[in-house]
Structure 1
């Protein structure tokens, strides 16, 4: 919740509305959320709390459908996987899903499984396995990844392949 991604999205797409799901547990989270609300008004919506509860709650009470989803929150395979599955409830069928804490193209594309050396845990533990399993089980379709700057932490892009 430093605001870098939010600012990039809102400045790049002046007609976009951004829903920011954040634990709000960092000292700067509330301050940055207030700054973004002041800068972007109703185009920026801050939803504080555990994403395992807040994403389904917003989805159940909204007709909003997202075109782009950027997942860079909950760490760990189980929690990251659950966030992605919960976001499906807020996504258009053709929505793009960007994700952080990815390690290699081979792993993120599902070309290799979690047991392969190219799919080793990254700096955020087993978070990479969520992406790998979501591709391998047919939930996500791999599109591409950024060039590695800080290996093994790249950003990748997928689309939802099947809706549950």
Structure 2
């Protein structure tokens, strides 16, 4: 049910908060960054031990990512940092900021030193963001995206539930 297209729709719901509020108020280092959503049906295994930049992780686990703002003006590799935050959460099933702040002994070479992500209560749906001045603001963006994904998937589920002749998920 969670698809890249649904993530696109969720992003359109949260885009105004990113582009208008953050850029205008200067909460982001600059008016651009990266948002990443991982496939919640994937579980960490040794095949993904290559880290966030491993092509297998990017192909199999990263369901969706979106740059916002003018990527040509990036002064920092926000996409690499956002994927690293997502990878930390994927591997440990904890928000990346929890690992960075409270469990730094879990950090491995190549992992970012920054936190900034959200995980749903199942510990499976991971959203990570890079671009804000402080990690709690990245978390805010992730929480918005997570809420939008939840709302859209619940709406889709209600549509399926309303069909008496449909007994399995499409």
TM-score (norm 1): 0.32
Richer in helix (by share): 2
TM-score (norm 2): 0.31
Determine which structure has greater relative contact order: mean sequence separation of CA pairs < 8 Å that are 6+ residues apart, divided by chain length: 2
